[in-house]
Amino acid sequence: MLKHLSRWLAVAAAALVGSPAIGALAPDPTGLWYDPAESGWGLTVSQQGDKVFAVLFVYDPASHPVWYVASDLEPLALMPPGGPMVQGNLYRTMGPYFGGPFDPHAVTMTQVGVLSLQFIGPAPQSMQVSYTVGGVAVAKSVKPQTFGEDSATLLGNYEGGMRVTAKSSPACADVSFGPIDASRAFNFQVIQDASGGPGHVHFIWGTGVDTVCLAVGDYGQQGQHGTFTGVLGCGPAATIANAGAYQLKLTNLSITPDGFAGTMSAQRDDCTYTGHVGGVRTAD
């Protein structure tokens, strides 16, 4: 009984972690953003709850580096076309020289305009940043800046789950990529396949006594989030290679030494299934 309970808790934990975080923007935009065609200036964003803190590092009319701070970006009361947007006042701050004694009374903050952020496109891999400084309006599409990747951290063994929450049409058959017994957690294994390149990985898990699911594809990194794109087949272990394949995509993967979580999309023929995926790392 305790064993089944622990597995059920693992499924519940994975489902909670795999759900999009409650925040002003989803997925979490925390990280560095920039325009690849204009490297040298950028935007850093941090989200906590429904508040967003943003810092622009750009250049003034004399080509001197300058920072502008938007410390209290909030969602708009009315959702604009294209999806959720956060907006707030933009400030320039001044203070004492960093090499001398710090005088808090010398710190000043002057409002210079307004800044807004909004994800654009069918997938939130680009963000529109719009701001005004001294009456000059600027609007740019920025992308997450990637300077590291988490594929090595993703490898390992997990208990978790893949939950389908929606399908593209009522005519699509109900599917489940999980164990037959709902009280059991997935036993994920993520391994690297060097034959397909450094980012080629396999997700393997059992769904019953003698059945297995195998997802084969490539891992990619976009800012702080990972992606997995490949094919998924489920069936008897002896015939998994011939099982009907789904096009599988895992996105917005947050990966830590303790586990991973994100969103999933599986497509076969004209049917698309969406939901969440997550796993808690196990010792074995």
Q: Identify the pLDDT of residue 122.
A: 58
Cβ burial of 169 (10 Å; 0-12, 13-18, 19+) is exposed
Q: Is the pLDDT of residue 186 over 70?
A: no
Q: Is the pLDDT of residue 243 over 70?
A: no
Q: Identify the pLDDT of residue 204.
A: 82
Contact 51, 25 (CB under 8 A): no
- Which CA distances in Å does 53 have to 35, 231, 262? 19, 38, 23
Domains of the chain: which residue ranges? Answer: 31-144, 148-281
Report for 115-119, 215-219, 241-245: range of highest mean pLDDT: 115-119
Cα torsion angle, 268, 269, 271, 274, sign: positive
Q: Identify the pLDDT of residue 10.
A: 43
- Which CA distances in Å does 119 have to 6, 125, 129? 38, 7, 9
| Better pLDDT: 77 or 248 | 248
Q: Identify the pLDDT of residue 45.
A: 95
Q: Is the pLDDT of residue 15 over 80?
A: no
pLDDT band of 20, cuts 50, 70, 90: very low
Q: Is the pLDDT of residue 179 over 70?
A: no
Judge if the upstream peptide bond of residue 96 is cis by omega within 30 degrees of 0. Answer: no
Q: Identify the pLDDT of residue 149.
A: 78
CATH of domain 148-281: 2.40.128
Q: Is the pLDDT of residue 8 over 50?
A: no
Report for 83-92, 192-201, 206-215: range of highest mean pLDDT: 83-92
pLDDT band of 6, cuts 50, 70, 90: very low
pLDDT band of 130, cuts 50, 70, 90: very high
Q: Is the pLDDT of residue 14 over 90?
A: no
